[in-house]
Amino acid sequence: MATHVRLGGSSSGYATATAALGNYQPIVDVSEQWYFTKEDLMNTPSQAGSDYSTPGTKTYSLTEERSWRSRGCNFIHNAVKRLDILKDIAYACAYVSAKGRTKEATVQQDIWQRLLQKLEIVVLENCCFDLDVAHPYGYIDTLAPEFGIPVFVAKSATAHVNDCLRSPICLLYRPEVIAVAALYLAIGVHGCDVKADLFDSCKVSLPPGAQREVEACAMDMLDFYRREADVEREAMTLQQMNRQSPQFS
């Protein structure tokens, strides 16, 4: 359907613009714009200091970037989870409490509202206003019953996806590839005997060369868990050292 945009000028110019917009074809397939190579992720703006929000004097190493990404994802996940469970109560409480607020509190509330509205635009700009995001979960829900995979294995695969969303895996592989890799990983972890080949699915279409991608994705998932385990061990070691320090005695 053509999009009607009033550009001003004569009616003929308006009709021409309408026709042009109706026949518009994007230069690049937008479904490909969020997939990168591992080499790309070794030279991100936050590492190279090449974007307006990262001064050249404040760059991050690959390890630091991964750590901050994981923290940010954890924060978003926890905040959304709490809001989802108690959002109706939270909205009601906020509405009632706002009625009895003082003028100073109302001003503070307005400041937060303006800040959130401003940051909303920043987030949308960074996403190129592309909010149509495909997730691996639907593919897991489709593949599991097709191949008779037990529910507990499918849930385990979903947990693997949840964990690895704190890593750049979603920027390296398509959601259907991530779903198959997570299922194979869960099958291996639980020692489940699944005879069928997930690549023979009649319901999920996998891209050419998917087997290599699935194997690479599964290895990246395992590598993510290894890094997380290393970070946890380092944190536990640091806590033990702090307890043994004289200032805590």
Higher pLDDT, 207 or 158: 158
Sorted by sequence, the CB contacts under 8 Å of residue 198 that are 6+ apart come out as 143, 147, 180, 183, 184
Contact 157, 138 (CB under 8 A): no
Within its chain, how far is the Cα of 157 from the centroid?
Answer: 17
State residue 110's pLDDT score: 72
Asked if residue 18 has pLDDT above 50, the reply is no
Give the model's pLDDT for residue 173.
93
d(CA 153, CA 77): 23
Segment 140-198, tens digit of pLDDT: 999 999 999 999 999 999 999 998 888 889 889 999 999 999 999 999 999 888 777 89
Q: Would the pLDDT of 22 be above 90?
A: no
Given pLDDT bands bounded at 50, 70 and 90, which one contains residue 9? very low
What is the average per-residue pLDDT within 37-47? 77
Longest Cα–Cα distance of the chain, Å, equals 84
Predicted TM-score (pTM) of the model is: 0.64
Are 188 and 149 within 8 A, CB to CB? no
pLDDT attached to residue 11 = 46
Mean pLDDT of the chain: 74
**CB neighbours (10 Å) of residue 231?**
14
Angstrom distance (rounded) from CA 132 to CA 31? 9
pLDDT one-digit tens code per residue, 82-109: 665 555 545 555 544 455 555 555 666 6
